[in-house]
Amino acid sequence: MDGSKKSLSENNERILLRNRRSIDFSEAPLIMGILNSTPDSFFSESRSNGMGKEKAREIIDNGADILDIGGESTRPGSEYVSTEEELERVIPLIEAVRSFSDIPVSIDTRKKEVAKAALKAGADIINDISALMDDPEMADLAAEKDVPVILMHMRGNPKTMQKNPHYRDVINEIIDELEVSINNALKKGIKKEKIIIDPGIGFGKRFEDNLRIIHDLKKIKEIGFPLLMGLSRKSFIGEILKNTPGIEVANRLAGTITANVLSVLNGADILRVHDVGAARDMIKVIKAIGAEGNL
């Protein structure tokens, strides 16, 4: 990556949004609440199911710092949906949220046209699991609008990503590939202080890779950008707990909380979660004990 690596406090402790708002990482870890306007996301409780405004209000009332809205499932094996369908799913929901809240909103999409309409409707952040690679005009849009971007590490795409993923050195390979994505964003004119990174738990990763990412997260944090972790209720947690009765997706909360605690202690700045209230309680306990970053 161009230039020397910097700590978060030297680089982007605060990310500016439009309308004089910001994301303040001095209050980290922050909670990103998941709201899926989809019929097929892997955890049914994250789906809006026609009650998007009410679900959004619940997430915000439970203490979310950021609301992440998506209209296309990216679970393993999933297909793209059309731009038109994705727009129909997310734009009314963003507009509904903006009718009662100024919470920072991220749009979870790989499509420039969806991101453009979402920003116009009131979204603040582009959360692109392809790290701005799927749509060649996405980075140009982010630079033009001067909005923050979340660059996630993934190999392949959701349909193919879990078909025999392989790494020789998962942490260093993720770091190298994230730095390529960061440099691509910078070359397109996206400001360094508008970049957030995500190592992509469960996106083209083996079981052991997901565990290694959490264990060695401090090495990824050394890249010097705010670090998002999205591991809520994912299949690796079910695999760890496979001998526990009833450990389907709905019963992975305890495992999720444990993995998120370890992520926080290893430097995560944002936790993308389904269970906002439980995550907020977890963070209160960590801060009360004064354990952040001391693993």
Cβ neighbors of 172 (< 8 A, separation 6 or more) are none
Helices (H), 72-135: 83-98, 112-121
Sequence-separated (6 or more) residues with CB below 8 Å from residue 78: 40, 72, 158, 159
Report angle CA 229, 131, 221 to the nearest 5 degrees.
40
- Tokens for 118? 């979402």
Beta bridge partners of residue 66, listed in sequence order: 32
- Is 181 in contact with 151 (CB distance < 8 Å)? yes
Distance CA 274, CA 116 (A): 25
**CA atoms of 56 and 49, how far apart (whole Å):** 12
Residue 227, CA distances (Å) to 117, 137, 269 in order:
26, 24, 5
Cα within 13 Å of Cα(101), Cβ side? 23
Percent helix, strand and coil across the chain, each to the nearest 5: 40, 15, 45
Q: Are 203 and 129 in contact (CB under 8 A)?
A: yes
Kindly give, in sequence order, each residue whose CB lies less than 8 Å from that of residue 70, ignoring residues fewer than 6 positions away. Answer: 34, 35, 36, 37, 38, 41, 90, 107, 108, 109, 127
**Residues carrying an active site annotation:** 234, 272
